[in-house]
Each structure stands twice: as C-alpha cells, then as structure tokens.
Amino acid sequence: MKKLSSNKVFGGEHAQYSHYSDANKCEMTFAIFLPPIALGKGKEAQRVPVLYWLSGLTCNDQNFMQKAGAFRAAAELGIAIVSPDTSPRGEDVPDDPDSAYDFGLGAGFYLNATQAPWSTHFNMYDYILNELLPGVQQSFFVNKNSAISGQSMGGHGALIIGLKNPDVFTSISAFSPICNPVNCAWGQKAFTHYLGDDQQTWLQYDACHLLQNASKHIPILIDQGTDDNFLEDQLQPNNLIKVAQMSDYHLTLNMRSGYDHSYFFISSFIDEHLYFHATRLFAGE
C-alpha cells in the first residue's frame, strides 16, 4: 500500500492509501481513520474494530471522511473507520458514454459485473470483501471485528454485503439506502448494464430479497429523511420494512422529519450509528 496523505484528527490519524486491486484490475484508493488507542506504543496500543463505510453515487473515499463529522465519537469509542472509493477508476476503466452520474465511474453499486465491458473492472463486491477487509486487517492495528454502513448506493452496498456475510459483520446500518434496487430506476439501469437482462440474477444484490431469505439475523439500523427527494421513487424503505415484517426480521427504521439526502443529514445522526455498532463490535471482549 502507498500512503498518499495523513492528517492528525482528535488524537488519531486520517490517512489515504492507494493499492492495486486484482478484482478491479486497477489502482484503488481508500481512506482510514485510526483512533488514538490504535496508535499507541507497546502495551498502550490496542487492536480496534473497524466500521466500513460505503459512499453513494458520484462520491469517493473522501466525502464521508470530510463531511460526516464522525471522528470525535470514533476516537472516543476506539473504532477505526475505512472508506473505499465507490468504483474502479483509470484510463482503461469504461464509463457511461452519456456521462450520467448514476452509472459507470463513481457508481459501482458494490456488485460483481458479469457483462462486457464492465466485468473486467467493476467487481466492487469482491474488492470490498476479499481484498479490502483482509488488506486492512493485515496492514493496520485492527482486529477482525467488523461492521458495515453507508449512504444511498452505499447504503444498498452495506445492506447486501452485510446480509450476504452475517458471519463477517456484527451489524449493519445505512442512511437513505436504496432498499429495493430491482424495482427502481437507479438499480434497473445499473443491473441491466452490469448483470444483463436476466432479472433473476439481480436478486442476489437486492436487500429485500436477501432479507427475506436470510438464515442469520444481525442487527440493522436505518435512518431516512422525510424530505429526501429520492425517497419514494428510488429508495423505497417501506418495501424493506414489509419484507422484514413478513420474515420476522427485526430492524430499526427511523424516519427523520425534515431531513434530506445530504451530509447535513448524515452528520446529524452519525454518532448514533457509531454507538449502535460499538455495542456489537465490543460485545464479548
């Protein structure tokens, strides 16, 4: 890994790294916050759990780190935060020919593409699970306790990756997630290009389908703003709630009056999400 930048913040360190990804066949960038307790020397240092944050459409590894205001609580709790980029990037990586924001660069949707030309590079699911997680565990003073969170497209990613890997993650949370991508324009566009026309293959990346068929239930917390412009057409949290009720899967959905889709919303409630994950990440230690 190559360190690109480093800043001291709340006694800890925020740093940005790049490394080559076999899954995405390109250089990938991620950011990490290490709390003070993970930076101590000798007996003073402790390995800490990690919260993985997945960002939304058009974002990269820095949006959450610079706008969410999560460092104070993470430093106090002793939790590392890792934020990867939202897609592969580079001269050889294909992009939407119409330069649309909801597909291509910045819009990897946290899946493994099966259709050309996307399948060579757009394999964010394998990248997160099989490269980023073990790479972080090997390279930094962290333990194997991991939780996952995200916003919008990243909330979709957190839900599907967490639900598909309940033995890897202690808990899942999301802000304004795309809950039922097979039934919204964002998901249908991305899935058609990345996965093809067979909609049965789409279900493996749909939170409603995965929740309905979950064999192991792990805690889920969702925050959604009532003034979110994308609420009804793209995000559809009510669909997930209906499936959860039918499947007897307990999850918490907070509808936050007056809040929108922005980082003003995320920064208002990010501490609650960190405390939610902390109770699970430190359980049994």
**pLDDT mean over 140-166:** 98
Amino acid at 237: P
What does the pLDDT look like over 71-126, one tens digit per residue?
999 999 999 999 999 999 998 999 998 878 999 999 999 999 999 999 999 999 99
**pLDDT mean over 270-285:** 92
Amino acid at 268: S
With a cut of 80, say whether residue 284 has pLDDT above it: no
d(CA 259, CA 235): 14
With a cut of 70, say whether residue 17 has pLDDT above it: yes
Structural domain for 91, as ranges:
2-280
Model confidence at 39, pLDDT cuts 50, 70, 90, reads very high
| Residue 282: how many other CB atoms lie within 10 Å | 15
What does the pLDDT look like over 189-225, one tens digit per residue?
999 999 999 999 999 999 999 999 999 999 999 999 9
Identify the pLDDT of residue 41.
67
Identify the pLDDT of residue 100.
87
Identify the pLDDT of residue 249.
97
What's the whole-model pTM score?
0.97
Active site residue 268: no
In a domain? residue 236: yes
What CATH code is carried by the domain that includes residue 96? 3.40.50.1820
Which of the residues 152, 171, 173, 176 is marked catalytic?
A: 152
Identify the pLDDT of residue 285.
58
Q: Which residue has the higher pLDDT, 54 or 99?
A: 54
Which of the residues 14, 193, 261, 277 is marked catalytic?
A: 261
In a domain? residue 285: no
DSSP the chain: -EEEEEEEETTEEEEEEEEEETTTTEEEEEEEEE-GGGT--GGG---EEEEEEE--TT--THHHHHHS--HHHHHHHT-EEEEE-SS--STTS---TT--TTSBTTB-TTSB--STTGGGT-BHHHIIIIIIHHHHHHHSSEEEEEEEEEBTHHHHHHHHHHHH-TTTEEEEEEES----GGGSHHHHHHHHHHH-S-HHHHGGG-HHHHHHT-SS---EEEEEETT-TTIIIII-HHHHHHHHHHHT---EEEEETT--SSHHHHHHHHHHHHHHHHHHHTTT-
Identify the pLDDT of residue 43.
65
Identify the pLDDT of residue 42.
61
Active site residue 217: no
- Among 188, 152, 174, 178, smallest CA distance to 58 is for 152
Which of the residues 87, 228, 273, 277 is marked catalytic?
A: 228
- Among 24, 73, 29, smallest CA distance to 51 is for 73
Count how many domains the chain has: 1
In a domain? residue 259: yes
Active site residue 98: no
